[in-house]
Every structure is written in structure tokens, then in C-alpha cells.
Structure 1
Amino acid sequence: MPIFGHSLHLSGPSDHDLMIFSLSKLTGHAGTRFGWAIIKDKDVYDKVLNYIYLANAGISKDTQLRALKVLKVAMKADGKPFFEFAYNQMSDRWNRLTSVFSKSTRFSIQRRHPLHCNFFHQTRQPSPAYAWVRCERQEDNDCAAVLKAGKIIGQSGSTFSAKIVMHDLV
């Protein structure tokens, strides 16, 4: 799935056989349930089109109008102000999260490394919408359960084929 510049770096244009986009990932408008795809293979395209037709019989006019309005706002001035705002928000959240975890000996989070982003024409830290949390104590062999006991919602790292089950996604 293509990545938008406010969460991770864009090292170059995407050129995959199948690229899926969603308004919720781009702007946070999850309730709109609107997405689009670039599909290079005509046979795959026909199958996807048929599935969409059978699965939901189209997209409501309300959803289409809301998506159009949101996309117009997001794409003003080539989208730079929107993505800069989103990056700054996510970066601030990551700075606060990193500060909290740096004081803990029980938990740690993944290290992020600066990468060059061709969209912003600068090198900067990625700010993904998730954090890999590691339980550092040997007795905490089910990190998901430890986090859940602390009322932290997450998913077990094994869901994402993490090699070490002490990692969990929050």
C-alpha cells in the first residue's frame, strides 16, 4: 500500500502493479469509507470491479460528495500545507511518546531513523500511526496481555508475524 508523506518518507514515486489508497489513511476520515486503487493488470481490474459491484452496489452520493470536499481541502497548494500540518501533529505525538518510553525500563518502542523524503525535499524522522512496543521483563512473555491489563489497546505482534512475541503493535 502506498504511504503518504505525513507518516513515512517518500523516497520516490510508487510504481507497483496494485496500489490501494483510502481516505481514512490520507486524512483520518474513517467514517467516509472511501478509497481508490491503481490496478495495472486488466484481468485483476475486472475482478475487483465485479467484486465492488457485488459487495456494496456502489458508493452513496453523500459519501462521494464528502470525499470530494475533503480531497479538495487536502490538495490545496499541492497538498503541502495539509501534509505539513499532519506531519507536525504526528511528529509531536511521537516526540511525546518517545519521551515517555525513554523513562521506562519495562517497555521500549522501535527506533526510528531519519530518511530523505522526496515529497518534502528534506531528511526527517518517520512518524507512523503505530508503535511497536517491547516488554523488556522476562516474566512479561505476553506483552499484549500486559498492555491490556494497563488498559492500553493494541494487537499482538504475532498478528503481524513478529519474530519475537514480546513485541506488540499499539
Structure 2
Amino acid sequence: VMIFSLAKVTGHAACRIGWALVKDPAMAAQMHRYVLLNSMGISLESQTVAAQILKSTADDPVNSCITYACKVLEDRRDRLALALKGHPEFELLSEWGLYAWIRGKGDTSDTFMNRFGILGRPGNAFGVGDEFFRLSMGASNQIFDELLSRLNNS
């Protein structure tokens, strides 16, 4: 089973559109029945927005929102890595994605977040140790720039 969400692909979380690829027809039928019984359906607005997003992406993949988002995330990842170079006690672990995983060498996630006044998710929320934490790379430009400012000015 592979489950997808338009929000994860394009960043349009308000659409609430998703789909699944299911190899087993019996499992697919059970999943279909579950969705029908446990949802009120998909709003026409969400369907329209999803169709427009997918059409624009298919019509012009070079200038699509997906390409734009990838460029923004790559730029942010590079800028975060540069800011963390000034703090060798912290290591950027993830190369890509909407979240940056960071490990504190001898420090806990609370130490990092308190030291810089930054909010993130502690690693223990994801079943890993307290020395790990996760930062969102999908924040607004203003918030992300403030994150970098706090890292660079300490």
C-alpha cells in the first residue's frame, strides 16, 4: 500500500485530497468502503483546487509549484547547514525534505531549543533519543529567516 497526499506533494494542505495505490483488490475495496463510511466526501472546492494544481503541474513542470517548493527547500537547507557550521556541537542529519533532523552532540533537544529560543519537535516524540530534534523547513519566510538569525547571532 502506498498512500499519497496532495498536501505532501505540493504543500496545499487545505485541499485534504489524497489517494492510495493498493496492489490487493480486496484490500482496496475495504479501504474504499472505510473512506465512504467515515467521511462526508470531498468538497467541490477541494476537488477544483486539486484539479487546478495538478493541471498546472502537468502543463508546466519546470515552473510548477513542486519545482518552486523544491528550490525553496534546497536553498533553506543550504542556509541552515551554513548557520549550523558555527555550532559544531550540532549536526544536520537530513539532506532533503520538509523537516530538518538535527543531532546535538552531548546536548538534548531542549538545550538547543532553549539556547536559541527555537521551537522544534524533540526526538523522543518520534521514538528516538533526546539528542535528536526536528525543525520545520516549511515555515513562512519571516519565521525561517528569524530561525537563521537566532542561529547566526548566538
TM tier relative to shorter chain = 0.7 to 0.9
Gaps of 5+ in 1: 1-17, 113-126
2:78 counterpart residue number? 95
1:132 counterpart residue number? 101
The whole-number CA distance in structure 2 between the counterparts of 1:54 and 1:128 is 33
Q: Is the 8 A contact 1:27 1:74 kept in 2?
A: no
Q: Is the 8 A contact 1:24 1:33 kept in 2?
A: yes
More helix by share: 2
| Cα RMSD (Å) | 1.9
Count of matched residue pairs: 133
Q: Which runs of 4+ in 1 moved over 6 A?
A: none
How many Å apart are 1:107 and its aligned residue?
2.1
Query: CA, structure 1 residues 42+132, in 2 after alignment: closer, same or farther (shift >3 Å)?
Result: same
The whole-number CA distance in structure 2 between the counterparts of 1:156 and 1:43 is 39
Deviation digits for residues 11-62 of structure 1, max 9, x if unmatched? xxxxxxx111111111110111111111111121111111111211211111
How many Å apart are 1:95 and its aligned residue?
0.7
Which structure is richer in relative contact order (CA contacts within 8 A, separation 6 or more)? 1
Deviation digits for residues 38-95 of structure 1, max 9, x if unmatched? 1111121111111111211211111111110111112224x34324333221111111
- Give the counterpart of 2:6 among 20, 23, 45: 23
1:165 counterpart residue number? 130
How many Å apart are 1:148 and its aligned residue?
4.3
The whole-number CA distance in structure 1 between the counterparts of 2:19 and 2:117 is 35
Q: Identical aligned pairs, as a percentage?
A: 30
The whole-number CA distance in structure 2 between the counterparts of 1:30 and 1:46 is 26
Gaps of 5+ in 2: 136-154
1:19-168 aligned at under 5 Å gives the runs 19-77=2-60, 79-82=61-64, 83-110=66-93, 112=95, 127-136=96-105, 138=106, 140=107, 142-143=108-109, 145-149=110-114, 150-162=116-128, 164-168=129-133
